[in-house]
């Protein structure tokens, strides 16, 4: 009789334990389901709003683009004659594709000049002005950066040189020299158009990589090109989203087909271009190199400033 009571107690105890475990399982499953629902309902738009990150009006109609193939433009005889006889400047063309110019009289940039005023001032002095768009004034080295546009889209930071206009200023903020290279006509590269990531996806990629901070303002997002690789002297450029934050305080670039991101790097890029320009001028014959000694002096000073800045860090 006593054994029967004990058996009954064991059965009741296991039954109560099983009921408790089932209750705990159901409760945890409900919590997990609620978490999934909450996660699904928290969109990138909600997260941006929670961090007070504002956006411009986005274009949702961009669908497909191609990689493009191009090469450095070589000037023809008519263009070379025009370049070499430019009034008010001493010019040289290196390797048939790189313009080096030294102004006879420095041109001051007015104090508080707008971007448009700076652009107009420079374009009145250079060759092929309609090909370029003003990007920025890098004041550490006192250089104005212009990028070439292809089919209405900007080619950003071509580390291989072509498609770039650099305008050099003296310590009085006067234009004294410039270098200019261009890209030639383009062809589609590869097997055809590729689907693009949408602008909101590009912004989401920046947000997830912590490149967007609370209270940031995305002021502009537009499609351009960035160098992808070189094939037998020709360059392949990928469609690239340029996301401008806080009115140009920061710029990010997102490959619009492959999706990887990178930020602007004015300083490293300009240091490389200055070294390249010094090398090019040294490649001139003795007579022309002597003519551009003032330019070499200016470039060397900027390079020394760069080296000094790196030592002081």
Domain residue limits, the chain:
55-68+186-263, 72-183
Per-residue pLDDT at 168 exceeds 50: yes
pLDDT of res. 7: 61
**Alpha carbon of 245 to those of 115, 218, 251: distances in Å?**
17, 4, 6
pLDDT of res. 303: 83
What does the pLDDT average to over 56-81?
90
CB-neighbour burial class of residue 301 (10 A; exposed 0-12, middle 13-18, buried 19+): middle
Q: In terms of residues, how long is the chain?
A: 313
Q: What is the DSSP letter of 183?
A: B
CATH 3.40.50.300 holds for 55-68+186-263? no
pLDDT of res. 36: 47
Q: pLDDT band at residue 6, thresholds of 50, 70 and 90? A: low
CA distance 241 to 255: 6
CA distance 9 to 150: 85
Q: What is the DSSP letter of 219?
A: E
CA dihedral sign of residues 161, 165, 168, 169: negative
- Beta strand pairing status for 64-70 and 143-150? unpaired
Query: What integer best gives the mean pLDDT of the chain?
Result: 86
* CATH homologous superfamily, domain 72-183: YycH protein, domain 2 (3.30.310.160)
**Cβ–Cβ < 8 Å for 201, 257:** no
Helix pair 266-282, 293-312: axis angle to 10 deg: 140
Q: Give me the percent of the chain exceeding a pLDDT of 70.
A: 82
Per-residue pLDDT at 40 exceeds 70: no
Per the model's pLDDT, the better-predicted residue between 7 and 131 turns out to be 131
CA distance 8 to 119: 94
């Amino acid at each position: 009789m006593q054994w029967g009571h004990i058996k009954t107690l064991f059965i009741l105890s296991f039954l109560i334990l099983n009921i408790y475990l089932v209750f705990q399982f159901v409760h945890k499953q409900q919590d997990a389901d609620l978490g999934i629902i909450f996660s699904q309902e928290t969109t990138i738009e909600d997260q941006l709003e929670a961090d007070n990150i504002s956006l411009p009006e986005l274009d949702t109609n961009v669908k497909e683009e191609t990689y493009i193939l191009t090469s450095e433009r070589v000037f023809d005889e008519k263009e070379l004659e025009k370049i070499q006889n430019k009034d008010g400047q001493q010019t040289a063309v290196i390797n048939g594709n790189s313009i080096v110019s030294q102004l006879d009289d420095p041109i001051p940039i007015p104090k508080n000049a707008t971007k448009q005023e700076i652009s107009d001032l420079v374009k009145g002095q250079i060759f092929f002005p309609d090909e370029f768009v003003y990007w920025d004034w890098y004041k550490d080295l006192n250089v104005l950066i212009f990028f070439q546009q292809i089919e209405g889209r900007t080619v950003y930071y071509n580390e291989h040189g072509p498609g770039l206009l650099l305008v050099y200023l003296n310590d009085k903020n006067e234009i004294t020299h410039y270098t200019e290279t261009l890209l030639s006509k383009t062809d589609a590269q590869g097997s055809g158009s590729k689907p693009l990531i949408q602008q909101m996806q590009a912004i989401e990629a920046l947000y997830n990589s912590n490149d967007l901070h609370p209270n940031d303002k995305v002021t502009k997002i537009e499609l351009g090109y960035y160098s992808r690789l070189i094939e037998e002297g020709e360059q392949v450029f990928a469609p690239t989203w340029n996301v401008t934050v806080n009115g140009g305080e920061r710029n990010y670039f997102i490959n619009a087909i492959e999706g990887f991101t990178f930020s602007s790097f004015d300083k490293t890029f300009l240091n490389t271009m200055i070294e390249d320009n010094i090398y090019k001028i040294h490649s001139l014959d003795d007579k022309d190199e002597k003519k551009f000694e003032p330019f070499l002096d200016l470039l060397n000073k900027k390079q020394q400033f760069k080296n000094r800045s790196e030592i002081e860090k």
